[in-house]
Amino acid sequence: MLHFTCDHCGQHLNDDRYVAKIEVFAAFDPNEISEQDLDADHLQDIASLIEDMELNGQTELEETTTKQFRFDLCPACRKKFVNDPLGIETTRRVNFSEN
């Protein structure tokens, strides 16, 4: 039997559980492709990028793949998440002393 706990507060979950799924991916707004774009040889551009990466000591490409997250939430944490999915209000409520 599977046992679930809230991924936010750690509370044991029974039948009252919610799932939040988040997918993060690179946005792509396609431009118009011209005949010139199709005829261009991009091999030299790629070779230049690789050379620049090697000169700068960059050994890996910037991570741009799609990332998916899945969270099990209790009813209280689900309500908090739905009302403030990015945690912006929670961050604003933190008060620091003026030392």
Question: Phi then psi for 70, rounded to 5 degrees?
Answer: -135, 130
User: How far apart, in Å, do the first and last CA atoms of the chain sit?
Assistant: 52
Does residue 21 sit in helix, strand or coil? Answer: strand
- Average pLDDT of span 30-45: 81
Q: What is the pLDDT of residues 67-90, one digit of tens each?
A: 999 999 999 999 999 999 998 887
Give the burial class of 20: count Cβ atoms within 10 A of its Cβ; 0-12 exposed, 13-18 middle, 19 or more buried.
Answer: middle
Q: How far apart are CA 2 and CA 39, in angstroms?
A: 56
- As a whole-number percent, the residues of the chain with pLDDT over 90 amount to 38
Q: Which two tokens stand for residue 47?
A: 């070779």
Residue bearing the bigger pLDDT, 2 or 58: 2
Q: Is the pTM of this model over 0.75?
A: no
